[in-house]
Amino acid sequence: MAPFAGAADYAGPLFDTHLHYNQEAWDGHAGPYPPAEALARMQRNGVKAIVANSRPNAGTQTLAAARETRAAGVTVVPFVRLYRNRDDYDNWFRDDSIYEMVQAELARGTASGPYRGLGEFHLYDSANANGPVARKLIALAEQRQLAVLAHVDDVAIDLLMANAPSRGRSLRLIWAHTGIGGPPVARVQALLERYPLLMGELSYRPGLTCDGGTLCPEWRALILKYPERFLVGSDTWVNQRWSAYDEIMRGYRTWLGDLPPEVAQRIAWGNAAGLFGIK
Ligand SMILES: [Zn+2]
């Protein structure tokens, strides 16, 4: 099932919890990664389920409806992306037309079922977590039990959680990259302890792997302490990530193989499957 896995590597199913199918990957007409190409990459890497989101949302709608998706045995968990175009990256948190677009998408759903989350969204300035539309979207996510995939710093995690009606006790926040700026492991641990539903997605995480692609000691210790709180994802934010998809997944299989099998299975598959109720 996993032709790229070495003898000691994790060889079970993967849940890609950070997948984009953006316009430049394939826009319905041209582009290097039409559904058959994208699905072939998932299938040959043993990726059995994905959190799909895209700029604009047409890409997710396409994957959710594609005959190739079912043929490849891939389950699509759709998220509403907050971006129609690149300008929205810096404006979504204060633009009411984004809130309206999200509500329209939620009402519409997808061929793979209702949307299960919002994001990925970015906050390049953590203070924008308090933008009027950011506040409304976080409240909406908690009320509707939608997960949130957030590319933010550790300061913004506290701000987003504070804006949830439960003050963060009930918000299912997936922290993209577990902090791409590399906040210290102790800070990550403190946030995991403070917010019981906070999960860390590990693509691009600085300091995660050391020699030979195995886990660095302090990350190995953190993952063993919180085996139910981490996820893996490809982050196909540019087409180069689609061309590197095999290597990205092989990299995960390498360090997952360095963990006890039941822990590896949770991070590769079980945590996300449990979050979204996938068998
Ligand atoms: Zn991303």
Tell me, in angstroms, the distance from the centre of ligand 1 to residue 169's CA. 25
Tell me, in angstroms, the distance from the centre of ligand 1 to residue 223's CA. 22
Tell me, in angstroms, the distance from the centre of ligand 1 to residue 7's CA. 30
Tell me, in angstroms, the distance from the centre of ligand 1 to residue 146's CA. 18
Joined together, the tokens standing for residue 218 give 């302090």
Tell me, in angstroms, the distance from the centre of ligand 1 to residue 266's CA. 21
Q: How far is CA 175 from CA 109, 185, 279, in A?
A: 24, 14, 23
Does residue 252 have a pLDDT over 50? Answer: yes
The helix/strand/coil state of 92 is helix
pLDDT digits (tens, 9 = 90+) for 162-188: 999 999 999 999 999 999 999 999 999
Tell me, in angstroms, the distance from the centre of ligand 1 to residue 78's CA. 14
Q: Which helix (H) or strand (E) holds 27?
A: none
Q: CA 24, CA 31: separation in Å to the nearest integer?
A: 6
Tell me, in angstroms, the distance from the centre of ligand 1 to residue 149's CA. 9
Q: CA 46, CA 234: separation in Å to the nearest integer?
A: 13
- Kindly give, in sequence order, each residue whose CB lies less than 8 Å from that of residue 126, ignoring residues fewer than 6 positions away: 152, 153, 155, 156, 159
pLDDT digits (tens, 9 = 90+) for 258-277: 999 999 999 999 999 999 99
Tell me, in angstroms, the distance from the centre of ligand 1 to residue 222's CA. 23
Tell me, in angstroms, the distance from the centre of ligand 1 to residue 95's CA. 21
Count of C-beta atoms within a 10 Å radius of residue 177? 22
**What's the predicted TM-score (pTM) here?**
0.96
